[in-house]
Structure 1
Amino acid sequence: MNLVNLQDVSLAYGPLVLLDSVSLGIDEGERIGIVSRNGGGKSTLVSVIAGRLPPDSGRVVHSRGLRVGFLHQQDSFPDTTVGRFVLGERAEHEWAGDARVRDVLRGLLSGWDLNTHMARLSGGERRRAGLARMLIDTHDLIVLDEPTNHLDIEGIAWLAEHVNGRREAVAVVTHDRWFLDAVTHRTWEVVDGRVERYEGGYAAYVLAKAERQRLAQAAEERRQNLVRKELAWLRRGPPARTSKPKFRIDAANALIADEPPVRDTVELVRFASSRLGKTVIDVKDVTLRAGDTTLLEHLTWQLGPGDRIGLVGVNGSGKTTLLRLLAKERGPDAGHVRHGKTVNLGHLSQNLTELDPEARPLQAVTEIRQHVTIGRKEHSASQMLERFGFRGERQWTPIGDLSGGERRRLQLLRLLMTEPNVLLLDEPTNDLDIETLTELEDLLDGWPGSLVVVSHDRYFLERICDRVFALLGDRTLRHLPGGVDEYLRRRAETADGGEVPQDRSRTDADEARQDAPRLSAAERRAAQKEMQRIERRIDRISARETELHALMAEAADDYTRLAELDAELKTLTAEKAELEDAWLAEAEKTGD
């Protein structure tokens, strides 16, 4: 069933055209991820889809009685209590007996006092309350604009699991690439007023985009493209990212056959050692407190040259405080911290540095340095600004007219221009779009120094960091060889049950789940056998396609023969597409 149709929709703000004659639709149960640069039109598109923003021209058609749940970045909040805002007029026995309501409250508001007034909440807490309110209700279409903002890694993992357990169609705008891969089946890229559509989540989108560019560019040109580099990491990355059909894995392998690893770790460590020496930061027998709470006790830990550390933990566990300790912005309550003599620290905090609103981005960067060397390459200030999304006249736009995301990019760029050899990054991905994130990752790939990153962006952590450490609430810092997956597993094992606010009773109904029916062993074997049969047929078709391309090259002057070969090729291509759909259908049955 079709839920929403956009027909030749256009929308512009002054000379800036965000949507240009866009036609598309959303069907029942679809899961769509929407990506673009900041300011590219993502939020505008979902506002038009949800019926919140009328287009300048064209039509937006909703199915009769369509129920849309919309989480907007600029939602307003009424003057009431959390309980009244989230639960409405539901009686306690009504919401306490509803499995969905309990799941949402545990996932987003665990430990909250529902009698707290909304005005007393922080901006992030109000966003969580708004998300909880929307998820509690039933909709036909859920539209989420940056839903992972203000959620920690556990919260994002819970949200992905919760969304996957719902039947509604979903359209989501987010820069969190792990979340896109976890919940979406299609990707829309808003670019230059158009909406380019791709099958699959973020990883499939990267592959498809790379394939399109491969067909449009010469081999040497495409090797310069960041998409190929990221694809190489996706293929070599965590095993969970490779759970794709065999024919897609083979295509990815062929595309990146000659692509080197994203980082030469040995070379970077050697270079970092020459810049930093043996001692970078040594933490010895340190105790760290925040008010009456002891965050760390008798901690001894060392950051070495070339180390790339990801730091995870629940909100309030002390990640930001630990970064401030490493950055010399506060001292330990006991013990001592030693920094190497050659250490040049760069600390990106969550607070935006105040800049002259009348200054221009190029001026703000060149006052730090006109050129910067990253790895073995030198870049001018203008080139760096372009890599961070400030193209052409945007380098001369007054800083006061920039968006929050653009100012965040400028702050990060100014930090990199100081050429630090130790980087401490506190939530560096906040307000950055995916294209800027890939540019940042590419820069950091060749950056020879030590790095500590605090981030809820799981993709960024796995992409940039070599090791993960966690603050688990036991007053120590633990190395997790299994990375974020191990962190989530440990948190689940030590969870205290995540009680519903103001509802201490637990019954058998609390554990109820609405899981889909499981396949029997015989049904699973049959599905897997069918998948293998399809894969064999796809392999034969791929081999014949290669033969046909060679034959068509030989018959370039024989138009009759060329037409015959082309007809066979089109038939095989159509059959291959049907087989891929059939393979995916069988894979969905088995959960592979």
Structure 2
Amino acid sequence: MPLISLQSVDYGVGGPLLLDGVDLAIEPGERIALIGRNGAGKSTLLKLLAGELRPDDGEVRVEGGRRVARLEQEVPQDAAGSVFDVVAAGLGELGALLADYHHLIHADVVDTNALAAVQAKIEAAQGWTLDRRVVETLERLQLDGDADFAALSGGMKRRGLLARALVSQPDLLLLDEPTNHLDIAAIDWLEGFLRQWSGALVFVTHDRRFLRALATRIVEIDRGQVTSWPGDWDNYLRRKEERANAEAQENARFDKLLAQEEVWIRQGIKARRTRDEGRVRRLKAMRVERAERRTQAGNVRMATAQAGESGKKVIEAKNVDFAHGENVLVRDFSTTILRGDRIGLVGPNGSGKTTLLKLLLGGLQPRSGEVRQGTQLQVAYFDQYRATLREDWNAIENVAEGREYVEVGGKSKHVIGYLQDFLFTPERARAPITRLSGGERNRLLLAKLFAQPSNLLVMDEPTNDLDVETLELLEELLADYPGTLLLVSHDRDFLDNVVTSTIVMEGEGRIGEYVGGYSDWLRQQPEIRGPAFRDDKQKLGPGFRRDDEQKPVAKPAASPVPAKTKLSYKDARELEELPARIESLETELARMAAAMNEPAFYQRDAAAIGTDNAALAALQAELDAAYARWAELEG
């Protein structure tokens, strides 16, 4: 039986419905990635599942006694006090009593009357087992319950909020952009933790590697419709392309037929003599259907403003040292950055990445050593905190700064037309930016950035809140950027797809330089990790292991390569038959997935739905085994 199900759910906030007749069932143990364009309604759907919103129409059914908890995208304003206070708040009123009890017993002077009163209330509610649960949750997530929540780093605050969501022991955990503002070590930790999570999980993320590591099903929101794609991310991408081609062909067929009918209705006297009233009614219905068609949101169109070439040597640093008091962030660092380099900066939060950027750009002076900037530099800077956006200006004013036209890609564009390339309607472009979502603010900052002529692009965490389509377009633009790029990011796939070398903050002021992206760095340095990156068993807790953790292995002595073994008749026959079998399995898998995408699928009883889901999983496993056997025999 599903933990929770949506039946014919509608929800809107003005304009076209965000969710239009949605049917969705979430089974125990599933890990569902919820994807869609910015503004498609992903956070809205999470709030409906959590019971924080009520649908305009339809029904959200939760199986009796099942608990749902949600981790918000941003740190809530009411999250204050000790870490124990914040985590215990996940238990409601009883959690508040437990927090009061802990404050009283840790006070310098214990108020015995107040302590006795609180103890009595906890005992009356049989709450001591929940007190132990809070303590166990804190231990499991490696949190200090006495620490001041406000003083924690962004990553540790997210961990505290995760503990608050987990302490109620939910059957369904909802996560909205859980990797935002986390460093790579924290993302690795969260991946490992969620793999061990036994409950159901629905999460929204822009981090494709995080998504690939966790998702067992992809649910997409597109133009008000929710579509379920069993399997992993790569399976979704393949099936989505097939669906898009089929949709385009069907729309083209419909539009051709409509055009023919419009010609027929305008043929005047000849048509009126033979006019079929049924055909007229069908034409009216086709006009209505075409008017109601919701086209897919366009992609962002990005281009950078042209600037003259910088000198060949962009930045040169020699023996640079820098410290905040006793905290050494940069120790004896030297590097030369040449025109056209695309460099990624990697390191834990607080390790000094932004400080290093300021040193290289001349915003800070080193304690010792020297930094020289090259000639003819024009710098454009993307700030992860969006501080370069003026809150009292709208989008047009932030980008144009008094101009009517901007020069982009060697062409002059009106500022409203330019903002439409970043998916801002004229009305949205004139709205105060305080009304923009996180994704819209990020797109606006990109629009502002690319309207500035530059030959040195500095980007500090540009991927937060972007949808996957925009993220991939940004990758393409940066890969083709003719100038020099300095990129700070915790998005591992983004780094791999964009940068050509990586600077790593390795702790205690040590900074390493490596060829390639994040994965290349891992391969080059499997056993040498700075303390800030080391996630040993004690830090992760029992049962957790990093995916990229590798132990140094002694290199074996060289031995002759064995001759390739000739296949037996039986194996050769199996190899010959495997392609046809794989094709047959893929066809059946596509048929079953298409059936599951029909609304009628979820209108049946839960047992039938569960049986079909199990059959689909078995078929996917059979296909994976066939591919593995094919690779084995081919080898």
Normalised TM-score (structure 1): 0.71
Tell me how far apart the structure 1 counterparts of residues 29 and 401 of structure 2 sit (CA, whole Å).
Answer: 52
Deviation digits for residues 534-580 of structure 1 (CA, Å, limit 9, x no counterpart): 843335649999xxxxxxxxxxxxxxxxxxxxxxxxxxxxx999854
Instruction: Give the match's secondary structure for 1:187.
Output: strand
- Cα 1:356–1:305 change in 2 (3 A) is closer
Aligned pairs for 1:53-72 within 5 A: 53-72=53-72
Match of 2:623 among 569, 573, 583: 583
1:42/1:190 contact within 8 Å kept = yes
Task: Give the distance between the partners of 1:21 and 1:536, measured in 2 at CA.
Answer: 40
Distance change in 2, residues 1:471/1:172 (3 Å): same
Q: For structure 1, which segment, 182-191 or 68-77, has the greater mean C-alpha deviation from structure 2 after superposition? A: 68-77
Quote the residue 2:228 is aligned against: 197
> Of residues 575, 580, 586 in structure 2, which corresponds to 1:537?
580
Corresponding residue for 2:86? 85
**Does the CA contact (< 8 Å) of 1:36 and 1:435 recur in 2?**
no
Q: Partner residue of 1:475? A: 509
Conservation of the 8 A alpha-carbon contact between 1:531 and 1:586: no
2:175 is matched with: 144
- Equivalent position of 1:290 in the other structure: 324
Matched, 1:10 2:41: no
1:130 lines up with 2:170 in the alignment:
no
Alignment of 1:147-546 (within 5 A): 147-217=178-248, 275-353=309-387, 355=389, 357=391, 359-367=393-401, 370-374=405-409, 381-481=415-515, 483-485=517-519, 486-487=521-522, 489-490=526-527, 495=534, 497=536, 511=542, 535-539=578-582, 541=584
The 3 A distance-change label for structure 1 pair 357 and 373 is closer
Whole-angstrom CA distance in 2 between matches of 1:138 and 1:587: 38
- 1:491 CA drift (Å): 7.1
| 1:470–1:478 Cα contact (<8 Å) kept | yes
C-alpha distance in 2 between matches for 1:306 and 1:312: 19
Partner of 2:145: 114
Change (3 A) 1:78 1:381: closer
In structure 1, the residue matched to 2:23 is 23
Contact between 1:530 and 1:586, CA under 8 Å: does it hold in 2?
Answer: no
Deviations along 1:273-299, whole A, 9 cap, x unmatched? x82232111111111222321111221
Instruction: Report the count of equivalent residues.
Output: 482
Q: Distance in 2 between matches of 1:540 and 1:37?
A: 32
Does the CA-based 8 Å contact 1:313-1:472 persist in structure 2?
yes
Q: Deviations over 1:346-368 (max 9, x none)?
A: 12223323555564423432338
1:372–1:188 Cα change, 3 Å: farther
Residues 132 and 535 (structure 1), Cα distance of their counterparts in 2 relative to 1, 3 Å cut: farther
1:104 to 141, 146, 151: 141
For 1:564, the equivalent position in structure 2 comes to none
Structure 2 distance, partners of 1:198, 1:96, is: 36
Aligned residue type for 1:279: K
RMSD of the TM alignment (CA)?
A: 4.1
Query: Residues of 1 paired with 2:379 and 2:545: CA distance?
Result: 51
What are structure 2's unaligned runs of at least 5 residues? 89-94, 99-127, 253-303, 547-570, 589-614
Q: Structure 1 counterpart of 2:82, which letter? A: T
Q: Distance in 1 between matches of 2:513 and 2:574?
A: 40
Distance 2:396 2:580 in 1: 56
**Letter in structure 1 aligned against 2:66:** L
Structure 1 distance, partners of 2:191, 2:468, is: 19
SS at match of 2:309: helix
- Deviations along 1:363-411, one digit per CA (max 9) or x if unpaired, are 432338734444x788664454233221343223233432343233222
Mapped to 2, the partners of 1:436 and 1:164 lie a distance apart of 28
Aligned to 1:235: none
Could you say what secondary structure the match of 1:148 adopts? coil
11-20 or 178-187: bigger deviation? 11-20
List per-residue Cα deviations over 1:189-215 (Å, max 9, x = no partner). Answer: 222221133233433333322232334
Q: Give secondary structure in 2 for the equivalent of 1:428.
A: coil
Matched residue, 2:594: none
User: Is 1:296–1:476's contact at 8 Å kept on the other side of the alignment?
Assistant: yes
SS of equivalent residue, structure 2 residue 87: helix
Change (3 A) 1:445 1:372: farther
Q: Which residue of 1 aligns with 2:35?
A: 35
Match of 1:522?
none
One-letter amino acid matched to 1:583: L
In structure 2, C-alpha distance between the alignment counterparts of 1:172 and 1:119, rounded to whole Å:
25
Deviations 1:293-343 (A, max 9, x none): 111122110111111111111111110101112222212111111111121
Residues 582, 623 of structure 2: 8 Å contact kept: no
Deviation digits for residues 116-161 of structure 1 (CA, Å, limit 9, x no counterpart): 2334446664333111333455332111111112311111111112
Counterparts of 2:166 and 2:500, CA distance in 1: 36
Check conservation: 2:386, 2:445, Cα contact below 8 A: yes
Q: Secondary structure at the match of 2:18?
A: strand
- Which whole-Å CA distance do the structure 2 matches of 1:148 and 1:415 have between them? 24
How far apart, CA to CA, are the structure 2 residues paired with 1:530 and 1:26?
A: 42
User: C-alpha separation between the residues in 2 aligned to 1:514 and 1:450?
Assistant: 37
Moved more, 420-429 or 323-332: 323-332
C-alpha change, 1:79 and 1:338, in structure 2 (3 Å) is closer
SS of the residue 2:356 aligns to = helix
CA contact (8 A) 1:69 1:134 kept: yes
Output the amino acid matched with 2:218.
Answer: T
Q: 1:49 to 1:319 in 2, by over 3 A?
A: same
SS in 1 for 2:47: helix
User: C-alpha separation between the residues in 1 aligned to 2:242 and 2:411?
Assistant: 28
Q: Is the 8 A contact 2:331 2:511 kept in 1?
A: no
Q: Distance in 2 between matches of 1:73 and 1:132?
A: 15
**Cα distance change on mapping 1:96 and 1:121 into 2, 3 Å:** closer
CA 1:307–1:587: 2 relative to 1, 3 Å: same
- Which amino acid in 1 is paired with 2:84? G
Decide whether the 8 Å contact of 2:133 with 2:167 is kept in 1: no
Letter of the 1:14 partner, please give it: G
- Which structure 1 residue ranges, 5 or more long, are not aligned? 222-267, 502-509, 516-527, 546-574
Query: Which of 377-386 and 184-193 deviates more?
Result: 377-386
Contact kept? 1:388, 1:436, Cα under 8 Å: no
Partner SS state of residue 468, structure 1: strand
Q: Distance in 2 between matches of 1:178 and 1:163?
A: 14
Structure 1, 200-209 or 320-329: larger mean CA deviation: 200-209
- Shift in alpha-carbon separation, 1:448–1:95, aligned structure 2, 3 A: same
Shift of 1:483: 3.9
1:25 is displaced (CA, Å) by: 0.9
Secondary structure, in 3 states, of the residue corresponding to 2:318? Answer: strand
- SS, match of residue 623 in structure 2: helix
Question: CA separation in 1, counterparts of 2:544 and 2:37?
Answer: 38
Structure 1: how far apart are the matches of 2:33 and 2:465?
Answer: 17
Identical aligned pairs, as a percentage? 37
What CA distance in whole angstroms lies between the structure 2 residues aligned with 1:2 and 1:576? 17
